[in-house]
Amino acid sequence: MSTNQAKKPRKNALVLFIHKLGSPPWFYNFTGKLIPWLWLLFGVLAAWGLYLGLVRAPADYLQGESFRIMYIHVPAAWMSMMIYGLMAVMGFIALVWRIRTMEILAMSSAPIGAAFTLAALISGSLWGRPTWGTYWVWDARLTSELVLLFLYFGVMSLYAAFDEPRKAARAAALLALVGLINLPIIHFSVNWWNTLHQPSSIGVTGSTIHPSMLWPLLIMAVATKFYYAANLLTRARLMLLEQDFRKSWARDAINGVAAPTTHGEPD
């Protein structure tokens, strides 16, 4: 590994960055500085987005006030899919290059993604009550979210089933990758199944959306991304500390000593 690095110095900034992320003390220190800003950005954006969405945006012509659930439901649904994709990509990197921090990032993503999926499902069925008159309809989007939740459960329970954490992470990452390849197929087949069995499908969102309704949605979409980043890094840091608690850098970190940057200085 180290000889390889010496042979081809800084070929690619991204590769270099990934290598640096691979060093636990560097990752711990770097994310320690980053996380407070991420939480702050999330807080400000979420407050702003919710204020605009829940207070300032006008009530919907057709759905009345209930459409405001959209500001939770839609960003949560977007995040649930994005996180699954990211988890699988990070899992792929972890599998191919055996980078431990990537394993940790991929596995820390799973519960966050599952929580967003659950939020999308619950908000979706609450939204369904005033819209469809029932809490659950086998609508294509809700069904897809449900399957996605099962996929998350699979990854999480496989990860939990192994004793050895690194073996667990590799197995779960492989499953996430297989799931990612299947996800588009599942998505399209569920959509198609829906049109097959319910010719007159009930649309949830209107075809056009007023800018005063759209802006809060976009702000919330950005805010949830900061939430994901902050939550992910917080979890990953803790998991790293837990795994490395016997190593000197981790003990220093726990005791409040600044960890020495042994793995190359930042350039």
Residue ranges that bind other proteins, judged by CB under 8 A: 1, 95, 98, 147, 150-151, 153-154, 157-158, 161-167, 170-171, 174-175, 177-179, 181-182, 185-186, 188-190, 192-193, 196, 243-244, 246-248, 251
User: Running DSSP on this structure, what letter comes out for residue 56?
Assistant: I
Residue 234 Cβ vs other proteins, minimum distance, rounded to whole Å: 21
Give the nearer residue to other proteins in terms of CB position, either 96 or 214. Answer: 96
Residue 73 Cβ vs other proteins, minimum distance, rounded to whole Å: 22
Query: Per the structure block, which two tokens stand in for 143?
Result: 């069904």
Give the nearer residue to other proteins in terms of CB position, either 164 or 265. Answer: 164
The amino acid at residue 162 is F
Of the candidates 157, 161, 166, which has an alpha carbon nearest to the alpha carbon of residue 243? Answer: 166
Residue 19 Cβ vs other proteins, minimum distance, rounded to whole Å: 15
User: Running DSSP on this structure, what letter comes out for residue 65?
Assistant: G
Q: What are the backbone angles phi and psi of residue 64, rounded to the nearest 5°?
A: 70, -140
Residue 189 Cβ vs other proteins, minimum distance, rounded to whole Å: 4
Per DSSP, the three-state class of 64 is strand
Give the nearer residue to other proteins in terms of CB position, either 75 or 179. Answer: 179
Residue 266 Cβ vs other proteins, minimum distance, rounded to whole Å: 23
Residue 85 Cβ vs other proteins, minimum distance, rounded to whole Å: 16
Give the nearer residue to other proteins in terms of CB position, either 98 or 210. Answer: 98
Give the nearer residue to other proteins in terms of CB position, either 66 or 189. Answer: 189
Give the nearer residue to other proteins in terms of CB position, either 131 or 143. Answer: 143
